[in-house]
Chain A
Amino acid sequence: MIPSTFDYVRVNSVDAAVAALRAGGEDAKVITGGQSLLPLLRMRLAAPSILVDCSDIDEMQGVTDNGDSVTIGAATTHWAVMHNDLVKAHVPLLAKATATVADPQIRHRGTFGGALAHGDSAGDLPSVVLALDASMVIAGPDGRRTVSAKDFFVDYFTTAVGADEVLVSITIPKLGAGWGTHYEKFNRTAQGWAIVGVAAAVKVEGGKIVDARIGLTNCAPVPVRASSVEAALTGTSASAAEIDAACASAAAGTHATTDLGADKEYREHLMRVLTSRAVAVAAGV
Chain B
Amino acid sequence: MPEVRITVDGDLVTDEVEARLLLVHFLRSNANKLGTVVGCDTSSCGACTVLLNGRSVKSCSILAVQADGNSVTTIQGLAGEEWHPVQEAFKECHGLQCGYCTPGMVMSTVDLLSENPNPTEEEIRDGLHGNLCRCTGYHNIVKSVQHAAELMKGGSK
**Candidates A8, A103, A104, A105; contact of B63 at CB < 8 Å:** A8
Residues of B within 8 A of A34 (CB): 61-63, 66
- Which chain B residues (94-116) contact chain A, with CB distance < 8 Å? 108, 111-112
Indicate if the CB atoms of A105 and B58 lie closer than 8 Å: yes
Q: How far is the CB of B152 from chain A (nearest CB, A)?
A: 18
A38–B65 Cα distance when bound, in Å, is 13
**Candidates A2, A8, A41, A103; contact of B2 at CB < 8 Å:** A8
Indicate if the CB atoms of A79 and B43 lie closer than 8 Å: no
Residues of A within 8 A of B111 (CB): 104
Residues of A within 8 A of B62 (CB): 34, 38, 109
Could you say which of A1, A2, A3, A104 has the most chain B C-beta atoms within 10 Å of its C-beta?
A: A104
**Candidates A10, A51, A108; contact of B55 at CB < 8 Å:** A108
> Quick one: given A34-B63, A38-B61, A102-B130, are A5 and B43 in contact (CB under 8 Å)?
no
Q: How far is the CB of B26 from chain A (nearest CB, A)?
A: 13
Indicate if the CB atoms of B20 and A35 lie closer than 8 Å: no
> Quick one: given A38-B61, A39-B61, A105-B58, are A53 and B129 in contact (CB under 8 Å)?
no
Please report the total number of A residues contacting B with Cβ < 8 Å. Answer: 29
Residues of B within 8 A of A41 (CB): 20
Q: Is B19 an interface position by the 8 A CB rule? A: yes
Q: Is A260 an interface position by the 8 A CB rule? A: no
Residues of B within 8 A of A42 (CB): 22, 41-42, 60
Indicate if the CB atoms of B129 and A103 lie closer than 8 Å: yes
Indicate if the CB atoms of A191 and B57 lie closer than 8 Å: no
Q: Is A276 an interface position by the 8 A CB rule? A: no
**Candidates A2, A51, A104; contact of B130 at CB < 8 Å:** A104
Indicate if the CB atoms of B61 and A109 lie closer than 8 Å: yes
A102–B62 Cα distance when bound, in Å, is 16
Q: Is B49 an interface position by the 8 A CB rule? A: yes
> Quick one: given A8-B63, A8-B65, A35-B43, are A104 and B56 in contact (CB under 8 Å)?
yes
Q: Is A106 an interface position by the 8 A CB rule? A: yes
> Quick one: given A104-B108, A106-B58, A191-B44, are A53 and B20 in contact (CB under 8 Å)?
no
Q: Is B127 an interface position by the 8 A CB rule? A: yes
A193–B80 Cα distance when bound, in Å, is 39
Q: Is B15 an interface position by the 8 A CB rule? A: no
- Which chain A residues (158-197) contact chain B, with CB distance < 8 Å? 190-191
A108–B43 Cα distance when bound, in Å, is 13
Indicate if the CB atoms of B63 and A5 lie closer than 8 Å: no
Indicate if the CB atoms of A190 and B63 lie closer than 8 Å: no
- Which chain A residues (24-56) contact chain B, with CB distance < 8 Å? 31, 34-35, 38-39, 41-42, 51, 53, 55
Q: How far is the CB of A189 from chain B (nearest CB, A)?
A: 10
Indicate if the CB atoms of A53 and B44 lie closer than 8 Å: no
Which residue on B lies nearest to A83, using beta carbons? Answer: B115
Q: Is B46 an interface position by the 8 A CB rule? A: yes
Q: How far is the CB of B61 from chain A (nearest CB, A)?
A: 4
Which residue on A lies nearest to B42, using beta carbons? Answer: A39
Q: How far is the CB of A219 from chain B (nearest CB, A)?
A: 24
> Quick one: given A34-B61, A38-B43, A190-B129, are A108 and B56 in contact (CB under 8 Å)?
yes
Which residue on A lies nearest to B55, using beta carbons? Answer: A108
Q: Is A146 an interface position by the 8 A CB rule? A: no
Indicate if the CB atoms of A105 and B19 lie closer than 8 Å: no
Indicate if the CB atoms of A105 and B49 lie closer than 8 Å: yes
> Quick one: given A39-B42, A103-B46, A191-B44, are A5 and B58 in contact (CB under 8 Å)?
no
25 sampled A-B residue pairs with Cβ under 8 A: A1-B41, A3-B22, A6-B20, A8-B65, A34-B63, A35-B43, A38-B43, A39-B61, A41-B20, A42-B41, A42-B60, A53-B65, A53-B66, A102-B130, A103-B46, A103-B130, A103-B131, A104-B112, A104-B127, A105-B57, A105-B61, A108-B52, A109-B57, A109-B62, A190-B129
A residues in contact (CB < 8 Å) with B: 1-8, 10, 31, 34-35, 38-39, 41-42, 51, 53, 55, 79, 102-106, 108-109, 190-191
